[in-house]
Structure 1
Amino acid sequence: MSIRQTNFDLKEEIRDYWSRRSQTFDLAFGHRIPRGPEFDAWQQPIRDHLGPTPLRVLELACGTGEVTALIHDLGHDVTALDFSEAMLSVAKAKHAGKDRLRFVLADAENPMEPDACYDAIICRHLVWTLTDPAKAFGEWHRVLKPGGTLLVFDGDWAKPTRLGRAAAWLIRRIDRFCGADRHYDGAMSERHSAIMSALPFGAGLRPDDLIPQLKQAGFVDFEISSHGPIAKAQRRGANLRNKLRTLVYRRFILVAKSAGASHGGEA
Structure 2
Amino acid sequence: MTTHAARANMNLRDEIQAYWSKRAETFDSQPGHEIFSEEERAAWHALLRRHLGDGAGRAALDLACGTAVVSHLLDDLGFEVTGMDWAEPMLERARAKAAKRGRRIRFYLGDAENTLEPDASYDVITNRHLVWTLVDPLAAFREWHRLLKPGGKLLVVDGDFVNAGPIAKAARALSAWLVRLGLGSSGPVNGPVTGEMAATHQSILSRVYFSEGARADAVVALLKEAGFSRVTLDTDMRAIHRTQRKNFSFLKGLERATQHRYAISAQK
TM-score, reference length from structure 2: 0.89
CA shift, 1:170, in A, is: 2.1
**Counterpart check, 1:190 vs 2:196:** no
Deviates more, 1:17-26 or 1:223-232: 223-232
Q: Pick closer, same or farther for the CA change 1:172–1:248 going to 2, 3 Å.
A: farther
Is the Cα contact below 8 Å between 1:168 and 1:248 reproduced in 2?
no
SS at match of 1:246: helix
The equivalent residue for 2:220 is 211
Query: What CA distance in whole angstroms lies between the structure 2 residues aligned with 1:47 and 1:248?
Result: 24
Query: Residue type of the partner of 1:94?
Result: K
Q: CA deviation at 1:237?
A: 5.4
Matched, 1:56 2:59: yes
Q: 1:42: which partner in 2?
A: 44
- The answer to whether structure 1 residue 162 and structure 2 residue 160 are counterparts is no
| Maintained 8 Å contact 2:158/2:263 | yes
Q: Secondary structure at the match of 1:192?
A: helix
Q: In structure 1, what is the equivalent of residue 78 of structure 2?
A: 75
Alignment of 1:106-117 (within 5 A): 106-117=110-121
The 3 A distance-change label for structure 1 pair 62 and 237 is closer
Q: CA deviation at 1:34?
A: 1.8
**Aligned length in residues:** 257
Correspondent of 2:245 among 227, 235, 243: 235
Q: Which moved more, 1:67-76 or 1:245-254?
A: 245-254
Checking the alignment, whether the CA contact within 8 Å between 1:156 and 1:206 is kept in structure 2 is yes
1:41-68 deviation digits (Å, cap 9, x = unpaired)? 1221111222223311000000111111
The one-letter amino acid of 1:17's match is Y
Match for residue 261 of structure 1?
none
Asked whether the 8 Å contact 1:82–1:88 carries over to 2, the reply is: yes
Distance 1:148 1:215, change over 3 A: same
Single out whichever of 120-129 and 30-39 deviates more from structure 2: 30-39
Percent identical pairs in the alignment equals 41
List aligned pairs for 1:1-267, cutoff 5 A: 9-52=11-54, 53-96=56-99, 98-176=102-180, 177=182, 178-181=184-187, 183-187=191-195, 188-225=197-234, 226-236=236-246, 238-258=248-268
CA displacement 1:47-97 (0-9 Å, x = unmatched): 122222331100000011111111111111100000100111111111116
| TM-score normalized with structure 1 length | 0.89
Distance verdict in 2 for CA 1:153–1:5, change over 3 Å: farther
Partner of 1:262: none
Contact 2:64 2:128 in 1 (8 A): yes
Structure 1 residue 247 displacement after superposition:
3.2
Q: More deviation in 25-34 or 122-131? A: 25-34
Tell which deviates more after alignment, 142-151 or 64-73. Answer: 64-73
Measured in 2, the distance between the counterparts of 1:54 and 1:169 equals 47
Three-state SS of the structure 1 residue aligned to 2:84 is strand
Q: Could you list the runs of 4 or more consecutive aligned residues of structure 1 that deviate by over 4 angstroms after TM superposition?
A: 1-6
Q: Which moved more, 1:146-155 or 1:220-229?
A: 220-229
1:5, 1:244 → 2: CA distance?
39
More displaced 10-residue stretch of structure 1: 62-71 or 171-180 = 171-180
Name the Cα RMSD after superposition: 2.2
Give structure 2 stretches of 5+ with no counterpart. none
The more displaced of 243-252 and 162-171 is 243-252
